A and B are shown apart, each in its own frame.
Chain A
């Protein structure tokens, strides 16, 4: 009778329940978990959002496609390849075919070539680069202007705030796209003059007058949404004790705004800036499609689509690459921005 079945009615204590706790059990009872910072907490939530992670992956792939592959690619966006005009995707021109037959392999034109013999894959990659650059630079401009303006208005309050926000209201009611078209079509001439006559502004020609116009337009009109959001944040943040403490210690207003208030808005600033990128890309492609954006040899997804429209009945496939590219870029930035918002600033969720 070595193994005795325990009597369920027995009051005899079971000794195994009174053994000292193992390390693992001690750990599970520890109420003081390791503290998770703002960034790690947000990143953890972001990683759980499948949609946002897929979008991030797509954005990275598009960036590689736009910024890295063109330098490794055998064709570039502005070289006219004589004899290779209007090739269909994967088609070779007569001389390229001859080279191919003689054993030298010729790199294929994945998307064909345009009417001037330029490789459309290279042009699409370059166009994506321009669109992404415009989106990123414009958003950074909007972020800098909008957050500074909003923080100043919110921090000083009173009459300063009143006047500054009336200006924001005013810009908000201006029909933006019409003014943008007007600005983009008129600023061209003075800027061109400036670039040609003044050595200090020669860099304008490097970027192209059209692009500079777009940046000016964004810097002038698009920051108002950002300014409103930051102002309302700062209005509540400035009542916090640490601001009073900083002021009591003799910190200047500029220091309080930059070191304390804006730093505490960083989540909202990042989210709003990310959501601004697709809007900027949208506007840029619109302007380029109409013919007011980037200057001639430089392609943009909008101008590529506009070029394709001309020969749509003969070469309908030319439209697909820029059209899909622009939609994918805007879609993935929208979804990623939404994910960031849910992760870093749940309050903003509408």
Chain B
């Protein structure tokens, strides 16, 4: 148990360092951009610029600006948005993130619920045509970027067949294409992981023991095989969540979903710097924290793993 506590503290410590690096990197990259945030088509008078700079604390030396930014960021305050007048970055994130989380959550669930059975089935029927078909499908799924999946499915289902709506999130039908686009890659990856994990487990001695002592096939499968084969999938859960979050940049842009991914891309293209910084830090924190949780959960689930 002491080893586990030590591992957890160490993991959290590293996560904090990573966060510090991400925040520093974000701040100084944004600082490097020439022109400053108050450049627009109508050039303001020098007096106005100076007043604005004083108001936002931009006339102070870099390190003080950095200190102020970090202190405020820790409190969850990323300042006002430059392009959406009168709104704060943290409010925008709070209003957009639930949408992305809902779509992303459904996508992760869909990937798990299809990937695991497909991989297991494929391993149990090794060499048969079903296995070959699933393996080919999984290889193809890994080779298709999410923008290809989304645009092709829009082309087929909305334009040629007029079955599904192309944008917005008004009804359940709106979720189908974004979820497919987000979950195809992780699903294919999970199916592959599950297949190789399952093949590994099926060759183990304890499986022969289970069969020899006369366990029913269902018990063999669920109590012995799946439980062990699923472990690699658990480690992949962290990257899956990260993938769906970043995948949302493209999928939300294509399907016009009012989520945080679309907001991030449009704030970059609009040069809304506080928004970019706020979203970057928010998403980075989210991914890092989820990864730590998944890693720790993995060590707890599988006692065979060596803690180091």
* Residues in chain A within 8 A of chain B (CB atoms): 169-170, 173-175, 177-179, 181-183, 185-187, 189-190, 193, 278, 282, 285-286, 289-292, 302, 305-306, 308-309, 312-313, 316, 319, 323, 326-327, 330-331, 334-335, 350
Contacts and interface: CB of A to CB of B under 8 A. Distances in A.
A309 B34 contact: no
A350 B235 CA distance: 15
A292 B267 CA distance: 13
Interface string B262-302: 00110011000000100010011001100100000000000
Contacts of A306: 147
B152 A319 contact: yes
A169 B26 CA distance: 19
Given A173-B14, A177-B242, A190-B33, 5 more contacts: A285-B147, A290-B250, A290-B253, A290-B268, A306-B147
B212 interface: no
Contacts of A182: 25-26, 29, 276, 280
Contacts, number: 116
A316 B154 CA distance: 10
Contact of B33 (A174, A181, A186, A278): A186
A319 B140 CA distance: 18
Contact of A334 (B22, B143, B151, B291): B143
A302 B17 contact: no
Given A175-B283, A331-B140, A170 B17 contact: yes
Main secondary structure of the interface of B (DSSP, over half): helix
A305 B18 contact: no
Chain B, interface size: which category?
35 or more
A316 B159 CA distance: 8
Interface string B30-41: 101111000000
B148 A175 contact: no
Nearest to B17: A170
A286 B246 CA distance: 11
B99 interface: no
B142 interface: yes
A335 B136 CA distance: 11
A186 B148 contact: no
Interface string B151-181: 1101100011000000000000000000000
B151 A178 contact: no
Given A173-B15, A189-B34, A193-B34, A309 B151 contact: yes
